[in-house]
Amino acid sequence: MYEWIYVGTVISLLIWVGADAWNIEHKLEAVPPQAQTIKAIGQQWFWTFEHANGTQEVGQLHVKAGVPYRFETVSKDVIHSFNIPDFTILMDAVPGRVNTVWNMFDKPGEYLIQCREYCGLLHYNMRANLFVEPATAKGFDYAPTNQTTSPAPAAGVSPASGGASTGAATAASGPVLSIPVGASTQGNPAYDPNPMTVKKGDTVQVQNKDQTPHTVTSGKGLDDPAKGKLFDTSIIAPAASAKVSTASLKSGEYPFHCEVHPYMTGTLKVQ
């Protein structure tokens, strides 16, 4: 008889502990009603972020401290994992599924966003920068521009373009360097023409005809200590364009690559 009392007591305790644990977990996962939604899109091998007002960011994300954010994580190809180590955020990005996680960033600064699920050859390079701005920061209100923001340009980028995507490709006023369709697939032509020959002082018009973002960055690859110091378009969105000035380059050959897909390489010959 006493054995059944013990069994009943143990079962009651397990039910109580389980129910209470579920209740706590439910409270922790409950998204605040005022949370802002950001879609985090994983794709070999970069992150794209879409704000609720239509603004897109590639390779970087800007948020405000003290504001709750609800992340909708998705993938366009294989399984990725959206991870912000400093804030213990980890959520899988699975093709055909939307997984959600929320967080409120409490400390301004620059942090790492990475993929924690092996997703192919360049998994190690699938990173982005998180910028948490103070809540009182000025000039941080995203207007619905529907544009892709990019990092600041490096030396050699034409001031007219700022090194960033300019929207739909416009008529070229100088030598044209194209990024053809399918360039992101290893083994396909990466740049056209390659090598490219220009005259010193020419402004190269870079046109991205592919379906994924790319860059034209000086240097042999990601491990080149001098990468991006001579010229760097930053991220060029699909169907967008950028400019590279050769005014500061001496005659010679300059290797370049794509920061998103480092196996995409080319050579710029300046006469």
Question: Residue 242 is part of a domain; what is its CATH number?
Answer: 2.60.40.420
Question: Which pLDDT belongs to residue 20?
Answer: 55
Question: Which pLDDT belongs to residue 161?
Answer: 36
Q: What residues have CB less than 8 Å from 101, skipping those under 6 apart?
A: 70, 71, 73, 82, 89, 90, 91
Closest CA to 259 of 211, 223, 209: 223
Local confidence band at 67 (pLDDT 50, 70, 90 cut-offs): very high
Look at residue 19 and tell me if it is in a domain. no
- The number of angstroms, rounded, from the C-alpha of 76 to the middle of its chain's C-alpha atoms is 13
Closest CA to 51 of 64, 77, 170: 64
Q: Is the pLDDT of residue 25 over 70?
A: no
Question: Which pLDDT belongs to residue 136?
Answer: 80
Supply the Cα-derived Rg of the chain in whole angstroms.
24
Average pLDDT of 115-135? 90
Look at residue 6 and tell me if it is in a domain. no
Look at residue 153 and tell me if it is in a domain. yes
Look at residue 64 and tell me if it is in a domain. yes
Question: Residue 110's domain spans which residues?
Answer: 36-133
pTM score > 0.95 for this model? Answer: no
Closest CA to 91 of 68, 119, 115, 107: 115
Looking at the structure of the chain, the number of domains it has is 2
Q: Is the pLDDT of residue 28 over 50?
A: no
Q: How far apart are CA 271 and CA 255, in angstroms?
A: 15
Residue type, 236: I
